[in-house]
Amino acid sequence: MERSRIRLARPATTEIEAMTHRRELEQHRHTLGEIRDIMNSMKTLAYIESRKLGRFLDAQRAVVTHIETIAADFLGFYPRALPRAGETTPVCLLLGSERGFCGDFSETLLKRLEAHVQEYSLDTPRLIVTGNKLGNHLEGDPRVVACIDGANVVEEAEKTLALIFNTLTELQAKEGAVSLTVFYHDPDREQIATTEVLPPFEQYRDTAPRFPHPPVLNLLPAAFLAELIDHYLFAALHEIMYVSLMAENIQRVRHLEGAVQHLDDKSANLLHQSNALRQEEIIEEIEVILLSAASLDKLSPERQ
C-alpha cells in the first residue's frame, strides 16, 4: 500500500514534460509580447513622422510651384537665356531608406533604375545613393560615385541634401555638365517616380508670354536664370526628399501593422495552447486527488 501512495504522489514523466512545455510556451509568448510592444512603438513613430512630413511637404510644394511660375514668366520673354541642351554626363540619384521595416523599398528602386538604364541606353551612369539599406545592395558597384547617409526624420533631410549638392558640384567640376534624374517612391501613385531635375525648365522653352510687358530685372537675364536654377534645384530636391520620406514612413506603418498583427495572432495561438496544457494539468491533478481519495476509502475498513 505504501508503494501505491508513493506512485500516486510522484508526477509521471509526461506530466513533467507537459508542465515544462507550458512554461516554454508562456516564456515564448512573453518574449513575443515585448517584441510586439517595440514594433508597435516604431509604427506609432512612423505614423507621427508621416503626419509631420505632410505639413512640410505642402509648404515645399508651394515653393516649387512658385519658382516654376516665375521661370515660365521669365522664359516667355527671355527664351534665349536658357542654354540649349548639349552633351551631358547622366547622373542618377536614388533615394533609399536608412532604416528597415519598410518591405522591398530598396529592391523596387533598383529594378526601376535598371529598367531606366536599358530604356534610355545609358552608358554607365553615375549613381548617387542615399540610405544605408540601398547602399548595401549596391556595394561594390563601379557606377556608384557616392553613398550618402539617408534621413531618418525630416530634420535630417538638410544634412543629406547638403552632401548631395557637394557631390554634384564635384561631378560638374570633374566631368562638365551633368543631367540629374531622381528615383524615389511616390506614395500618391504608389510606385517609383522618376523626375529629371537637371537641366531644368525645358518645358518652358517655347512658352508664350502671359503678360504684355517683360519682368523688371536687376540682373542680366543669364545671371538671373542661373540664380533661379540654384533656388529651383534646392527647392525641388527638398520636395522630392520629403515625398520619399513620406512614402518610406507610410510603407513602414503598413509593414509594421502586418508584423504586429502576426505577433498578436501568434500570441493568441500560444495562449490557447498554454491554456489547453494547463487544463490538462488540472484534470490530471483532479484525477490524482480522486484516486488518492478512493485509495483512502479502501483502507478505512481494513484499519477498523
Enumerate residues 6+ apart whose C-beta is below 8 A from 146: 128, 129, 163, 167
Residue 20 has pLDDT above 90, yes or no: no
Could you tell me if residue 140 is inside a domain? yes
| C-alpha distances out from residue 144 to 17, 107, 139, 159, 179, Å | 57, 16, 8, 20, 16
Secondary structure class of 148 (helix, strand, coil): strand
Could you tell me if residue 234 is inside a domain? yes
Could you tell me if residue 174 is inside a domain? yes
Question: pLDDT digit string (tens) for 21-36?
Answer: 888 888 888 899 999 9
Domain range for residue 109?
A: 45-203+218-256
Could you tell me if residue 53 is inside a domain? yes
Nearest by Cα to 78 from 234, 177, 217, 197: 217
Parallel, antiparallel, or unpaired for β 144-148 and 126-130? parallel
Could you tell me if residue 71 is inside a domain? yes
Average pLDDT over residues 91-109: 91
CATH code, domain carrying 125: 3.40.1380.10
- In total, how many domains does the chain have? 1
Question: pLDDT digit string (tens) for 137-156?
Answer: 999 999 999 999 999 999 99
pLDDT at 196: 94
Question: Average pLDDT over the chain, rounded to whole?
Answer: 87
Give the whole-angstrom CA distance, residue 248 versus residue 257.
Answer: 14
Could you tell me if residue 290 is inside a domain? no
pTM over 0.75: yes
Could you tell me if residue 223 is inside a domain? yes
Could you tell me if residue 289 is inside a domain? no
Question: pLDDT digit string (tens) for 251-292?
Answer: 999 999 999 999 999 989 988 888 888 888 788 778 778 777
